[in-house]
């Protein structure tokens, strides 16, 4: 061994560990709840200050919320006196009797009471359709698609608008309101926007210049303007463009507006999915002899749609929230029924408005958050299935 080795003796060069070291638990300061606290909340002075501020904030906000919704809330009563402070001599939170009494109005609008069973049947059929399509292990989901996109719309239309011939009394759409209208508008938007969006996306990628130009103009135009203006356009211009006899009723106009708007956004989502499919898929399909529509239906679209399901669901969430805008063209969706109800003098208290908005918030949170959880679950599932 030369001195150039420094202080490393021959013996130190070779080393063998004959007894293995068993794993030990981490030191106490690091482990468990205390360690986690130190790591995540108290690691630097700045962090400590931040944690303290947030804890104080939450300590004020959460009890206030719970107080309003539950503890100080009024649970029964017949009119505004039940929810007025100077009558009840205590602090008042949410005025739930207001909600109980108006709940049918929030759900059905002014739909005639003896016919409300038809709305219930519609809700049930819709629920069946949704579960059938979304539950990945459901049997015969292709039948489910036909049910959802063909049978359900026709049946619902007959059920809700009525058909004298089979004993269903016609109900004018003016009477529809509340959750019924919200669900109808959202469903129509969802059902129409996907096929139309697919057509537009294919049109935009088409090699025929006229088709591509028309698709691009339509998509960019609709995406460039606010939904409010599209609804106004449908609301005031549609009656002008059709001959007098066919003048569509207000709900139909709003539905047309929503459908057009949603289709343009869906078109872009589908187009992104189509772009993600490698050209080899097109080539493979054509090599086997499939024609354009067969190729699309059997090979390309199934893959494209599967890839963009999370984005499609996100678009649906946006659509669901956008249904509130029919409020502005005079349609009585859930928000508008709440707006009408909260200014009722019978229930005029300082807390009525907030209670009404709380109901709307709960409704939308459940649906939108539910949809976003589904989207996220689908995302992880897709990621897993792509891993080898």
Partner 1 sequence: MNVAGNHGSLLKPANLNTAVAVELVDVNKWYGDFHVLRDINLKVMGGERIVICGPSGSGKSTMIRCINRLEEHQSGHIFIDGVELTADLRKIDEVRREVGMVFQHFNLFPHLTVMDNCTLALIWVRKMPKKQAEEVALHYLERVKIPEQASKYPGQLSGGQQQRVAIARALCMNPKIMLFDEPTSALDPEMVKEVLDTMVELAHDGMTMLVVTHEMGFARQVASRIVFMDEGQIVEANVPEEFFAHPQHERTKLFLSQILR
Partner 2 sequence: MSSELSARARPAQVVFYNDPKFRSIAYQLVLCAVVAFLVYGAASNAIENLARSHIASGFGFWKETAGFDISQTLIQYSPRASTYGRAFWVGLLNTLLVAGLGIIFATILGFGVGISRLSRNWLLAKVAGGYVETIRNLPLLLQLLFWYNAVLKALPDIRESIVIPGGAFLNNRGFFLPLPVSKSGFGAVEIALLAGILGAVAFYVWARKRQERTGQQAPVLWVALALVFGLPLVVFALAGFPLGFEFPQAGRFNITGGIEVLPEFLALLFGLSIYTAAFIAEVVRAGILAVSRGQSEAAYSLGLRPGPTLRLVVIPQAMRVIIPPLTSQYLNLTKNSSLAVAIGYPDLVQVFTGTVLNQTGQAVEVVAITMLVYLVISLVTSLLMNIYNSRMALAER
Residue that has been written with the tokens 């992104």 in this structure = 272
Q: Is 271 exposed, middle or buried (0-12, 13-18, 19+ CB in 10 A)?
A: buried
Q: Which stretch binds partner 1 (CB under 8 A): 22-30, 72-80, 244-252, 262-270?
A: 22-30
Structure tokens at 59: 């300590």
Q: Which stretch binds partner 1 (CB under 8 A): 15-23, 70-78, 186-194, 339-347?
A: 15-23
- Residue 348, interface with partner 2 (CB under 8 A)? no
* Other beta carbons less than 10 A from residue 77's beta carbon: 19
Compute, in degrees rounded to 10, the torsion defined by CA atoms 79, 84, 89, 94: 90
- Residue 317, interface with partner 2 (CB under 8 A)? yes
- Residue 34, interface with partner 1 (CB under 8 A)? no
Least Å from the CB of residue 43 to partner 1 = 10
Residue 5 contacts which entry, partner 1, partner 2, none (Cβ below 5-8 A, type-dependent): partner 1
Residue that has been written with the tokens 């996306």 in this structure = 201
Structure tokens at 104: 């049918």
Name the nearest CA neighbour of 254 among 268, 269, 275, 234.
Answer: 234
Q: How far apart are CA 250 and CA 331, in angstroms?
A: 7
Closer to partner 1 by Cβ: residue 10 or 136: 10
Closer to partner 2 by Cβ: residue 243 or 345: 243
Residue span 38-77 as binding mask against partner 2, x where in contact by CB under 8 A, dash where not = -xxx-x---x--xx--xx-xx-------------------
Closer to partner 2 by Cβ: residue 160 or 338: 338
Residue that has been written with the tokens 């804890």 in this structure = 55
Residue that has been written with the tokens 């402070």 in this structure = 85
- Residue 114, interface with partner 1 (CB under 8 A)? no
- Residue 209, interface with partner 2 (CB under 8 A)? yes
- Residue 239, interface with partner 2 (CB under 8 A)? yes
- Residue 37, interface with partner 1 (CB under 8 A)? no
Q: How far is CA 85 from CA 95, 105, 349, 350, 355, in A?
A: 11, 26, 9, 9, 15
Residue 6 contacts which entry, partner 2, partner 1, none (Cβ below 5-8 A, type-dependent): partner 1
Least Å from the CB of residue 13 to partner 2 = 28
Among residues 18, 46, 241, 293, which is the contact residue for partner 1, using CB under 8 A? 18
Q: What is the size of the binding site for partner 1 (CB under 8 A)?
A: 24
Least Å from the CB of residue 49 to partner 1 = 19
Structure tokens at 82: 């039940």
Least Å from the CB of residue 3 to partner 1 = 8
- Residue 20, interface with partner 1 (CB under 8 A)? yes
Contact status, residue 161 vs residue 255, Cβ threshold 8 Å: no
CA–centroid distance for 81 within its chain: 38
Q: What is the size of the binding site for partner 2 (CB under 8 A)?
A: 57
Residue that has been written with the tokens 């749609």 in this structure = 305
Structure tokens at 113: 């009471």
Among residues 10, 165, 166, 240, which is the contact residue for partner 1, using CB under 8 A? 10
Q: Which residues contact 34 (CB under 8 A, 6 or more apart)?
A: 28
User: Which residues contribute to the site for partner 1 (CB under 8 A)?
Assistant: 1-2, 4-8, 10, 12-18, 20-21, 23-27, 30-31
């Amino acid at each position: 061994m030369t001195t150039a080795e420094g202080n490393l003796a021959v013996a130190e060069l070779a080393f063998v560990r004959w007894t293995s070291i068993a794993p030990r638990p981490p030191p106490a300061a690091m482990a468990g709840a205390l360690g986690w606290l130190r790591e995540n909340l108290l690691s630097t002075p700045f962090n400590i200050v931040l944690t303290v501020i947030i804890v104080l904030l939450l300590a004020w906000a959460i009890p206030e919320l719970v107080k309003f919704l539950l503890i100080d809330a009024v649970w029964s009563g017949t009119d505004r006196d039940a929810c007025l402070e100077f009558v009840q001599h205590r602090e008042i939170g949410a005025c739930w009797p207001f909600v109980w009494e108006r709940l049918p109005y929030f759900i059905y609008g002014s739909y005639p009471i003896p016919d409300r069973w038809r709305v219930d049947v519609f809700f049930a059929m819709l629920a069946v359709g949704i579960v059938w399509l979304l539950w990945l292990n459901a049997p015969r989901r292709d039948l489910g698609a036909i049910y959802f996109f063909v049978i359900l719309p026709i049946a619902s239309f007959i059920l809700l608008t009525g058909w004298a011939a089979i004993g269903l009394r016609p109900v004018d759409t003016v009477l529809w309101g509340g959750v019924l209208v919200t669900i109808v508008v959202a469903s129509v938007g969802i059902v129409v926007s996907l096929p139309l969006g697919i057509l537009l996306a294919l049109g935009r990628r088409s090699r025929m210049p006229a088709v591509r130009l028309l698709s691009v103009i339509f998509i960019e135009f609709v995406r460039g303007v606010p939904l409010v203006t599209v609804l106004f356009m449908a609301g005031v211009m549609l009656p002008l463009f059709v001959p007098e006899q066919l003048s569509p009723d207000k709900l139909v106009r709003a539905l047309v507006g929503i459908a057009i708007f949603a289709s343009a956004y869906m078109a872009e989502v589908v187009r992104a999915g189509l772009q993600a499919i490698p050209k080899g898929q097109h080539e493979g399909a054509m090599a086997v002899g499939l024609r354009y529509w067969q190729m699309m239906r059997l090979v390309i679209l199934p893959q494209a749609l599967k890839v963009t399901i999370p984005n499609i669901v996100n678009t649906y969430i946006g659509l669901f929230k956008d249904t509130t805008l029919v409020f502005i063209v005079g349609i009585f969706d859930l928000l508008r029924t709440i707006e009408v109800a909260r200014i009722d003098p019978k229930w005029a208290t300082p807390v009525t408005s907030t209670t009404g908005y709380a109901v709307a918030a709960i409704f939308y949170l459940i649906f939108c958050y539910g949809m976003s959880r589904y989207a996220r679950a689908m995302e992880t599932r897709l990621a897993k299935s792509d891993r080898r």
